Structure 1
Amino acid sequence: MDNKRISEIVEEEMIKQDANRYRDMRKILTIPKSIADELDSVFAGVDATDIGYVLDQTGPYGSRAFDDYYFKNKNIIALYLAGKALGVDLVKVGEG
């Protein structure tokens, strides 16, 4: 094998590893469906593309489950709302 082919193989493997890391990272960012539904109803029609605005506006309110979730996951909530506003799935909605 020549050096060019070795470089191509190494590059292909690095791309695969990056894709796997990205896929694994997306698995980590999840939000329960019940919390997503509550956020969707409260922030319907609100421009959430400004992360600072989202962080200022998302606060503990509503159900006890939401309050508990909020204090542990404020950044995931902000990413979920920003992703919805941008039309991309930054946070996966899980069961619950």
Structure 2
Amino acid sequence: MFNRLVAEHGMTDVSYGRVRDYIARRRPEIWAEAGRGPVNLFIPQTHRPGEEAEVDFGDVYISLNGVRTLCYLFVFRLSFSGKAVHRPVDRTIGVSYELAW
């Protein structure tokens, strides 16, 4: 687009960055006006108590008796209340630890 503006219209006083930013801002507006683009809308999520939860695992280093130890981190989050449980598990012996925040 920038090259065409320079070649076809002789626009030498505009920068590539300015053209890029303008296109990024205008493209969704043009698509919406033409009826082809996504419309910005908000869809609220509703979660019934006890129906949904998210579970994830990851690595975390903790200080265990003064020794930096790599553990698994188990994360459980209830979708309705947002309450979460984070539990590190020592990889070497399979022991779960209480987190003191």
Whether the TM-score (by the shorter chain) exceeds 0.5 is: no
Give the TM interval when normalised to the shorter protein.
under 0.3
Which has the larger share of helix?
A: 1
Query: Which of structures 1 and 2 has the larger relative contact order (alpha carbons within 8 angstroms, sep 6+)?
Result: 1
Larger Rg: 2
Which has the larger share of strand?
A: 2
**Normalised by the size of structure 2, how large is the TM-score?**
0.23
**Normalised by the size of structure 1, how large is the TM-score?**
0.24
